[in-house]
Amino acid sequence: MTMEGYLRQDGRKGIRNLVAVAYLVECAHHVAREIALPNREHAHVIGFPGCFPNEYAQSMMERLCTHPNVGAVMIVSLGCESFNRFKLEQFVRDSGRQVETLVIQKTGGTRSAIARGQAFVERAVEALSEEKTVPMVVADLVIGTVCGGSDGTSGISGNPAAGRAFDRLVSEGATCIFEETGELIGCEDIMAARAATPELAEELRASVEKAAQYYATLGFGSFAAGNADGGLSTIEEKSMGAYAKSGSSMISGLIKPGDIPPTGGLYLMDVVPDGPVRFGFPNISDNAEIVEMMASGAHMTLFVTGRGSVVGSALAPVIKVAANPEMYGRLREDMDVNAGQIIEGTATLDQIGTEIYELIVAVAGGTQTKSEDLGHREFILTYKSFEPIGPACLPV
Amino acid sequence: MTDNRLIVLAPQDSVVVVRCGISEGETLIIGDVEVILGVAVSMGHKLALRAVETGDAILKYGVPIGSATSDISVGEHVHLHNMKSDYTPTYALEGAQTEFEK
């Protein structure tokens, strides 16, 4: 299978060529949604709901609006929010993308803002459809992985199968990102042993310790009620299952949301904010994690689920891996891969790992995932604060 | 020889994972012990592979996933009622459905 991508000014290649319709405060959300609606296959809504300024949100929106899968950007501002729309527009323009900002308070209100926005999107979609593609190889890909709605099967079927796919991708030069340090609690030692350098090992260990403290302050682990229904009893049990997604490659670095991995390899994303607990739970739902991996350039996300999550994402396709054969039977229209076969004994981890790898290549080549085809375009971004990563985090 | 409805992930583990739903009262072979299942268990849940005492670490994947809050005998369902996290407590909606369903 040959892959073709859309070459961006920064050298990265996109596997889709979309218009991002970006609202900068909840007050502009409706207008953004209406702008995208007639072209919703090619125009995806992203945005930040808050009115108070937040450096993290600003840089996340900059990264997302210049994601390799994005070809043009429509910024939708109410006009009085604190988000720095001028800086965002400049950032997008400097990336070589077509961009326009609509300020609802200046354009005469809802109706006229929607009309102007729809006209921009219409023109942009047409222009993007005529753009030429360039050849793309596996080493150009950035793949993220999350698990959600985990149960007692996730850690023995879907997650290790995703890990096998990761091992193959990394061996072929791709960039793979795993995350949610709050779900690596109890795995610090075995994970640190895979670090490229002893200094990085310390950073990996510290990131999990930070997560454990953070969650202890909040009084809840990264553990939902459904996890327990599915047979998971503790956060460390869930963690061991989640950890299996990372495969067995050497860990090349530790990044934070929005950091672009400098070269191929396996990276841990530290998603837990730095400093005192301020804005609540690190990731209030699975899509927050998907958004952060997109901000670090993930072209698509592998999503392993036991209980049965149906979500997709704006901007970057989500491949859903069912860990559990009973759930696969109920939700097959939403699932791309049935790793439940491993539980039933009808397929091996290697076979499902290969199936996932081949699907990644196909999706990069244009095949629609189930959630993409069903129109799932979930997106969520909330307040956080991070310190920049230190030099020990990226030894390569 | 362990029942093929159960998965042994690592030889040193204290638990096995249930491969499919198993009804209460069914007979299972765990290790070389024959046990009668006390409660129905669904896919992905754990049963004790060996006897565990209060305070002992529960091993799965060959690593500790928490500790026992009561003595557990071979074949017993191992979950929130007899084990706990050594990190943060587990929140579950246990009983919420029966409490609010009319």
Per DSSP, the residues of A192-255 read HTTBSSHHHHHHHHHHHHHHHHHHHHHT--S--HHHHHTT--SHHHHHHHHHGGGTTSPEEEEE
Residues 65-124 of A with CB under 8 A from B: none
Asked if A212 is an interface residue toward chain B (Cβ–Cβ < 8 A), one would say yes
Find tokens 């696969």 and name the residue: A328
Per-residue confidence (pLDDT) for residue B20, from 0 to 100: 92
Chain B residues lying within 8 Å of A154, measured CB to CB:
44
Say which range, A202-211, A217-226, A255-264, has the weakest mean pLDDT: A217-226
Q: With contacts defined as CB-CB under 8 Å, which chain B residues touch A226?
A: 93
Neighbours of A44 (CB within 10 A): 22
**Which amino acid makes up residue A67?**
H
Q: Give the domains, in start order, of chain B with CATH numbers.
A: 6-100 (2.30.130.110)
What is the distance in angstroms between the Cα of A166 and the nearest Cα belonging to chain B? 20
Model confidence over A384-393: pLDDT tens digits? 999 999 999 9
Tell me the nearest-neighbour CA distance from A225 into chain B, angstroms: 4
**pLDDT tens digits for range A276-300:** 999 988 888 999 999 999 999 999 9
Question: Across the interface, do B66 and A221 touch by the CB < 8 Å criterion?
Answer: no
Domain A18-130 matching CATH 2.60.120.620: the answer reads no
Mutation for testing the A interface, residue in B17, B69, B88 having most A CBs under 10 Å:
B88
Residues 6 or more apart whose CB falls under 8 angstroms from that of A126 comprise none
- Top-ranked range on mean pLDDT: pick from A82-96, A216-230, B74-88: A82-96
d(CA A286, CA A144): 13
Task: Mark yes or no for CB contact B92/A235 under 8 Å.
Answer: no
Alpha carbons A39 and A16: distance in angstroms, whole number: 15
For residue B92, the chain A residues in CB contact (below 8 A) are 225, 228-229
- For residues B5 and B44, is the Cβ–Cβ distance under 8 A? no
Token pair 């930070």: residue:
A210
Name the amino acid, one letter, at A132.
K
Residues 334-373 of A with CB under 8 A from B: 343-345
Smallest CA–CA distance from A236 into chain B, residue: B65
**B17 and A231: CB-CB below 8 Å?**
yes
Is B93 in Cβ contact with A231 (below 8 Å)?
A: no
DSSP label at residue A184? -
Predicted confidence at residue B1, as pLDDT, reads 62
The 10 Å Cβ neighbour count of residue A129 is: 10
For residues A281 and A191, is the Cβ–Cβ distance under 8 A?
Answer: no
Across the interface, which of A152, A229, A235 has its CB nearest the CB of B88?
A235
Helix (H) or strand (E) holding B76: none
A155 touches chain B (CB under 8 A): yes
A-chain residues within 8 Å CB-CB of B21? 326
- The minimal CB distance from B60 to the residues A151, A212, A240 is found for A240
Interface residue A152 vs chain B (CB under 8 A): yes
pLDDT for res B87: 85
What pLDDT sits at residue A44? 98
Question: Is residue A209 less than 8 Å (CB to CB) from chain B?
Answer: no
Q: Structural domain boundaries of chain A?
A: 18-130, 138-393
Q: Is A1's Cβ below 8 Å from some Cβ in B?
A: no
- Cα A203 off chain centre by: 22
Query: Chain-wide mean pLDDT for chain A?
Result: 96
**pLDDT above 60 (res A103):** yes
Q: Is the CB of A233 less than 8 angstroms away from the CB of B9?
A: no
pLDDT (0 to 100) of residue B46: 97
Contact of B72 with B52, CB cutoff 8 Å: yes
**Partner-chain contact B78 A151, CB within 8 Å:** no
Residue A223, judged by CB atoms within 10 A of its CB (0-12, 13-18, 19+), counts as: buried
Q: Do A233 and B83 touch (CB under 8 A)?
A: yes
Least confident of A3-12, A223-232, A296-305: A223-232
Q: Give chain B positions within 8 Å (CB) of A324.
A: 43-44
DSSP A345: T
Q: What is the mean pLDDT of each run of 10 residues along chain B (102 residues)?
A: 87 94 94 92 96 97 94 96 88 65 52
- pLDDT recorded at residue A2: 74
Q: What is the pLDDT of residues A42-75, one digit of tens each?
A: 999 999 999 999 999 999 999 999 999 999 999 9
> Which residue type is seen at A386?
F
Residues B102, B93: Cα–Cα separation, whole Å: 17
Closest chain B CA to residue A228? B92
